[in-house]
Amino acid sequence: MQLTDTHCHLDFPVFESDLATRLAQWRQLGVGEYIIPAVGEENWTRVMGLAEQHAGIAYGLGIHPWYVGAQTEGVLARLHALLASEPHGLVAIGECGLDLRSQVPQEGQVEMFEAQIRLAMEFDLPLIVHSVRANDTVAKILRRFKPARGGVIHAFGGSLQQAEAFWQLGFRLGIGGVISYERANKTREAVRDMPLEALLLETDAPDMPLQGQQGEPNTPASLITIVQLLAQLREQSLADVASVLHESTRMAFPRLGKAINT
């Protein structure tokens, strides 16, 4: 199998110790490609550095909705300049989007998300979209802008109707540990019924652990279990699922092959 973890935060402190060894171990399992989304200007340099240091790593640059308020004046101009420099390993804008939970500061989220959609359109890059309790609002915004390159709805957790709406807008669905939870019936049904090419694999490591592993740091090794669960859920062969998802990932992130092989 050739599996790509399309959303993992390998720059987080939990992975600082001997990342090269871990990458080699994960490669032996079949996970050999990674996309690291940035969360704000404070980690743009870190994710870019990992792509330079390790084979198989690409990244997105953006501003996560949680950290909108922590950004300093001029951040969008600096992001624009960085994108214009066409840095090696860049494959997407993100992680960006909306998080409408009450404990997350709301000020500036919509404006920052819309600004990053405009950047994605200007630089012809896909978006890595964070959408928590916000699927309908995110879909409405995307419908208004119609970003031609589309992207992925990270950690999709919604209904079949919402999944279909995103797919029609050119966005694939990031599928991770949520499908291991039996209580996530609505999302499991959506994942089962959507076209396989509408899905991508991800872990959100070190977050979003599988059922039974709560409280432990998640890792890209979980991708093996996730793809097995997906094949079982859809009643398709593991080989076919892995093959289609590999091609789907290349379609979603057209610059990925060059980013990780040069």
The answer to the question of whether 130 is labelled as a binding residue is yes
Residue corresponding to tokens 């990932």: 249
Q: Is 90 helix (H, G, I), strand (E, B) or coil?
A: strand
Helix boundaries (H) for 14-105: 19-29, 44-53, 75-84
The answer to the question of whether 240 is labelled as a binding residue is no
CA 116 to chain centre: 15
Residue 204 backbone class (left: φ over 0; alpha: ψ -120 to 50; beta: rest): left
CA distances from 242 to 85, 86, 98, 206 (A): 34, 30, 30, 22
Does residue 247 have a cis peptide bond before it, meaning omega lies within 30 degrees of 0? no
Amino acid residing at 159: S
Rounded Cα distance between 190 and 40, Å, is 31
Amino acid residing at 91: V
The answer to the question of whether 95 is labelled as a binding residue is yes
The answer to the question of whether 88 is labelled as a binding residue is no
Known binding positions for a divalent metal cation: 7, 9, 95, 130, 154, 204
Known binding positions: 7, 9, 95, 130, 154, 204
